[in-house]
Amino acid sequence: MKVLQPDIYVSDVLGIDLDAFKRESIDTLLIDLDNTILSRDATEVTGEIRDWIRGLEQSGFITCIVSNNWHSSAIVHAEKLQMDIVAKAIKPLPFAFRQALVRVGSKPSRTAMIGDQIFTDILGGNLLGMKTVLVKPLSASDLPHTLLLRRLERFVLAGREPLD
């Protein structure tokens, strides 16, 4: 099931080789919010991840958060990070991914989708032909349905470990 396999699997966003993206002509990053750059248990993005996000823009990457989060806090976090956001995304359906690409003026072939869930972030990105990056979730706590999907993710990954 290639559509469920990430192209890259890393421990966290800090382990992503951005130079490799540049070599592959990837200039756009769609990034999940919850448990990808913001721990589910936290109210603020860590300084380390905040610096990483600032570095993306300085490196010439176009970014947009694509989140299934329905709460206003998602928009507040995006504003604090000075990032565009497509919230209430209903990933893996393609609508929010396409909306984000239109917003930032990019194409799937130039885009990487970065997220912590195979059945939302990775599946959605793969269906649109994007490069996909799976990160380990920042927190073990999550919504009940997500915890169930995490069990299925273990089978999909079949013992695969993050690169870093």
In a domain, 162, yes or no: no
In a domain, 164, yes or no: no
In a domain, 15, yes or no: yes
- Listed in sequence order, the residues at least 6 apart from 156 whose beta carbon sits closer than 8 Å to its beta carbon are 1, 4, 5, 118
Type of residue at 99: Q
In a domain, 163, yes or no: no
In angstroms, what CA-CA distances link 50 with 3, 83, 129, 154? 30, 11, 28, 29
**Residue 139's domain spans which residues?**
2-157
Which CATH number is 31's domain given?
3.40.50.1000
Could you report the per-residue pLDDT of 58-108, keeping only the tens digit for each? 999 999 999 998 788 889 999 999 999 999 999 999 999 999 999 999 999
> How many domains would you assign to the chain?
1
Alpha-carbon span 145 to 69, nearest angstrom? 14
What pTM did the predictor assign? 0.90
User: What is the pLDDT at residue 162?
Assistant: 73
In a domain, 100, yes or no: yes
- Cis link prior to 94 (omega < 30° from 0)? no
